[in-house]
Structure 1
Amino acid sequence: MAQFGVHALVFTSDWNAASAKAACQTAREIGYDLIEVLIFDPATLDVAATARAAREAGIGLRLGMALSAGSDISSIDPVEAARGEATVARCLEIASELSTPAVSGITYAAFNSYAAAPTAAQRAQVAEALARLDTRAGQLGVKLGLEPVNRYESYLVNTLDQGAELIRMSEARNLFLHMDTFHMNIEEADIAATIQRNAALLGYAHLADNHRGLLGTGAFDVKGFFRALCAVGYSGDYTVESFSPVALSPDLAGGLRLWRQAWQEPAHAARVALEAMQRGLSEARAAVTPW
C-alpha cells in the first residue's frame, strides 16, 4: 500500500534533536505517513535522536543521501572513490539501524557540476562498486536506490534508462530506481514511456513540480505521473519535495539554486502537497486499469 511522505527539507536543513522532533510531529499532524531525512554526512547524523523523534511522533522514516565531490564513487582518484563507497555503505548501515527499508539518492557519483561526460571505465568502476554495495545491502536486509538527477546536478545517471542499465551492469538484487519528477521533467523525453520500460525496477518516488515550489501549482503534469504509475501497478511510496529558502541554510539554498521565496510557511506547503498527492493518486486509481 502506497504511503505519502514529506522531505525533511520542507521544514528545516538543520537536523538536530529539537528540529527533528518538531518536523516529525508537524508532518504527522498534517497527515503524512513518512518523513524523509537527508544524510548530509553519516558521521554527523544523530541516529538516536532521529529514531526517537520518529517514534514519538508515530511516523515512518525514509532516508536520502547525496555523495559529495570528495566522496565520489565515479572518481578516477582511487582514494575518493573508496571514500564514496564507504559513505554509501555507512548509510546502508544507518538504514538498518533505523529499521528503514532503504537509502536512496545520488549514490553513484557526486552532487556536482561535471565538465565532461563519464568514461566507459568510470561506468564499469561504479558498476563494480554498486555490486559490492548490493551485497552489503542484502546482508543488512535493506535496499539501495539510484536517483537519476538532471545534468546540472550530476552525471552518469540522468534518466531512468541510464539507472536501469547501471543496475543491470552490477547484476544487483537489492538496487532500485528512485524517481524524481523535478529531474524527470528536465531529462526524460516521455515520462510515461520510461516508467513503463523500467516498471520492474521502480521503488520510490519524489514528487516535485517543475519550479520545486508548491506542488500542483506549476507546469508538471502531476496527475499524468500518477496515471502512468498506476498503469504499471506501482505500489511504492511517494514523498514530496517542495523547497523554499525560508526553511534552508543559505549554503543549501544556494546549492539548490533557490533564488526566489517559493512559499513562506512550511506547514502550508506540506498541506498543499499532501492534498495534491492524495487527489492525484485517487483520481488515477479510478481512471486506470493496471496492465
Structure 2
Amino acid sequence: MKISVSSAVYGMEPLDKIIFRAAELGYDAVELTGALHIPVETSAERRKTVRGWIQSAGIECSALHYIWDGSVKMATADKDEMKRCTDYLCKVIDMSSDMESRTVIVGSGGKTRSFEDDQDRSEVTKNMAEIIFNAGEYAKDKGVILAMEAINRYETNFLNTLKEAVEFTKMVNHPNVRTMADTYHMNIEEVSPADEIRKYGHTLANIHFADSNRQAPGEGHFDFVSLAQALKKVNFSEYISFEVFGLYPWKLWFDTFEEADSQMERGIKYVRNLFK
C-alpha cells in the first residue's frame, strides 16, 4: 500500500524539511498543498527546485491538494467566471505535471464550490460539470487525473457524500475525472464508510486518511479496520494520503513541527500494520 503525507500537516515549515522528513519516516510520497506551499504563480525555477527535493528524497509527489486560492469560483452561472475557473484549474494541472504528479484533488470546499442561496442548483451544477470536463481535456494531454473530493456539509453544500461525487463524475463523463474520499468527512456524512468504499471504491483516484478528530489514523474512533478490508476488497492501489490537522479555531496545523511529526510517525505505523 502506497502512503503519502500532505505537506499542510507541518504548516508553514520549510518545504524541503517536510519532504526529506517524510522520506525518513517511510512515506512513499508527499502530497503538496497548493495554496500554502506551491501556488499557481510559483516560478519555473522554484518548481524545478521542489521537484529536485522530491527526487533527491527518493519519493514521489502523489497529488496536489488544497488548490484554490480564493481568486475564482467554480459554482457560478457567469460564463466569464467559468472561463477564469477553467484557466485556473489548467494552471494547477501544469503544476501537477511539473511535480511529476498524476493527481489533482478538487476539494477545499468553502465558497469556491458552494451554491449561493439564490442560485439555480441544476444550472450551476451543469456549469461546474462543464468546467471540470474542459479541465479534464487539458489534463488528459498532461497525464493528470482530476479527483472530485466528497467533503462534509459544514465545509460545502456540494458533493458531501461519495455517492454524490460519483454521480457528478458520471455527469462530467471524462476518463480523466474520478473521485476522492476522505475518512474525516466520511465519518460525518456516511452511515457506513466501509460499505460506500465497497460500492464506489473502484472510482477512487486517491483517499485521505484522518481519524474522527482529524488527527492521525489510530488517534480517534474511526473504524479503519473495516475500511482497510473494504479497500482490499476493491483492489485499491492508489495513494493513501494523511491529511491531518490540529483543528484549532485560528489555524489548521499543529503548534510545532515535533507535534506534527509525532502524529505522522504513529500514523504510518498504524496504517502499515492495517495492511500487513
Q: Which TM-score band applies after superposition, normalised by the shorter structure?
A: 0.7 to 0.9
**Which one of the candidate residues 40, 43, 56 is aligned to 2:41?**
43
Measured in 1, the distance between the counterparts of 2:95 and 2:258 equals 32
Runs of 5+ unmatched residues, structure 2 = none
Number of residue pairs aligned between Structure 1 and Structure 2: 269
Deviation at 1:262, TM superposition (A): 10
**Which one of the candidate residues 179, 182, 195 is aligned to 1:180?**
182
Counterparts in 2 of 1:224-263, with a 5 A limit?
224-244=226-246, 254=250, 256=252
**Local SS of the residue matching 1:203:** strand
Measured in 2, the distance between the counterparts of 1:118 and 1:218 equals 39
Q: Match of 2:228, as an amino acid?
A: F
CA deviation string 1:53-85 (max 9, x = no partner): 112211111221343554111123434332222
Measured in 2, the distance between the counterparts of 1:168 and 1:255 equals 35
Deviation at 1:184, TM superposition (A): 0.8
Paired-residue identity, %:
23
Q: Match of 1:105, as an amino acid?
A: V
Deviation at 1:108, TM superposition (A): 8.6
Measured in 2, the distance between the counterparts of 1:162 and 1:39 equals 25
In the superposition, the TM-score normalised over structure 1's length comes to 0.84
**Local SS of the residue matching 1:31:** coil
Deviation at 1:200, TM superposition (A): 2.4
Counterparts in 2 of 1:1-291, with a 5 A limit?
2-13=1-12, 19-40=14-35, 41-44=39-42, 46-62=46-62, 63-106=64-107, 110=111, 116=117, 119-244=121-246, 254=250, 256=252, 265-282=259-276
Residues 35 and 241 (structure 1 numbering): CA distance in 2 closer, same or farther, change over 3 Å? same
**Local SS of the residue matching 1:150:** coil
In the superposition, the TM-score normalised over structure 2's length comes to 0.88
Is the Cα contact below 8 Å between 1:69 and 1:112 reproduced in 2? no
CA deviation string 1:240-279 (max 9, x = no partner): 122227xxxx9xx6365x7x96996222111011011101
**Local SS of the residue matching 1:227:** helix
Residues 190 and 145 (structure 1 numbering): CA distance in 2 closer, same or farther, change over 3 Å? same
Measured in 2, the distance between the counterparts of 1:148 and 1:30 equals 28
Residues 176 and 118 (structure 1 numbering): CA distance in 2 closer, same or farther, change over 3 Å? farther
CA RMSD of aligned residues (A): 2.6
**Local SS of the residue matching 1:198:** helix
Deviation at 1:115, TM superposition (A): 5.6
**Local SS of the residue matching 1:67:** coil
Is the Cα contact below 8 Å between 1:6 and 1:34 reproduced in 2? yes
